[in-house]
Structure 1
């Protein structure tokens, strides 16, 4: 009796180790499209404050729904000559969520105080509810 139990146990262990559900492969996350990039970033200076405005990108066959935007800024002194080939160092300065009323309106705004004597460059990056980021927006530049 002991021998048959051992034999059955060995057969069961061998079956568990060799049984499978098919071809094994690394897990694949569900496909999710990143949100579309903003293409209409603009701004206007009122006093010493810049108000950026842009449209909320539409959801489409090649883009997911945006849940918010990260606002990036690069700041250089105006007296420095503008170098077209030099990379700008952008820093994230804010994160703006899309509320239902803003989504219905279709437009977003963000205000940033300005300091005299600087050239400001702004860009946005949309993100979805899971934090996946889309591409960079167009860059808006202003001297103050």
Structure 2
């Protein structure tokens, strides 16, 4: 067998092996928008003496309907008044391989000031970066009391003023 024939056979064998192996994915491609986490719809805000506590439920599915197993984390967004949203904190999720996962998450924003109105949204994302739509918006007018009550003394109505919480208006419906 001459050298040219040997080279051609070797090249043909390499091509056949490469085509036979492929990438391992068998099936139709998945549109990227179906691989993002479902939108969080139950974001809640509770004003406390030292900040505003946010809580929400873990998304269980992708937007496309399949069960999600690669939730990577959350980004809490905040805006003061009518300003633009800015990220406050990123919260990683590290329980993907555990038998029992966390189903409810919370974060307390300690950087708020009394007498200000804040808006919050939360995004979730997968470990490979697919990001959800923003959660429902919550609006909080934060009122901080002037003095913290003594731990062994019940709070008196004169020193503690209940903060007000206003749910955000629902988003406009789309056809």
With structure 2 as the length reference, what TM-score do the two structures score? 0.55
Q: 107, 110, 116: which is aligned to 1:110?
A: 107
Partner of 1:128 in structure 2?
Answer: 126
Using the TM superposition, give the Cα deviation of residue 102 of structure 1 relative to its aligned residue in structure 2, in angstroms: 5.3
Whether the 8 Å CA contact 1:48–1:115 is kept in 2: the answer is: no
Does 1:44 find its partner at 2:41?
no
Does 1:74 find its partner at 2:79?
yes
Structure 1: how far apart are the matches of 2:92 and 2:50? 24
Structure 1 moving runs of 4+ over 4 Å: none
Question: RMSD of the alignment, in Å?
Answer: 3.6
When the two structures are aligned, how many residues end up with a matched partner? 126
Instruction: Give structure 2 stretches of 5+ with no counterpart.
Output: 6-18, 20-28, 143-175
Range 119-128 or range 59-68, more displaced: 59-68
Instruction: Give structure 1 stretches of 5+ with no counterpart.
Output: 1-7, 9-20, 22-29, 77-81, 83-87
Whether the 8 Å CA contact 1:102–1:108 is kept in 2: the answer is: no
1:1-144 → structure 2 map (5 Å cutoff): 31=30, 33-59=35-61, 61-62=64-65, 64-65=68-69, 66-76=71-81, 88-98=83-93, 99=95, 100=98, 103=102, 106-113=103-110, 114-144=112-142
Relative distance call for 1:102 and 1:121 in structure 2 (3 A) is: farther
More strand per residue? 1
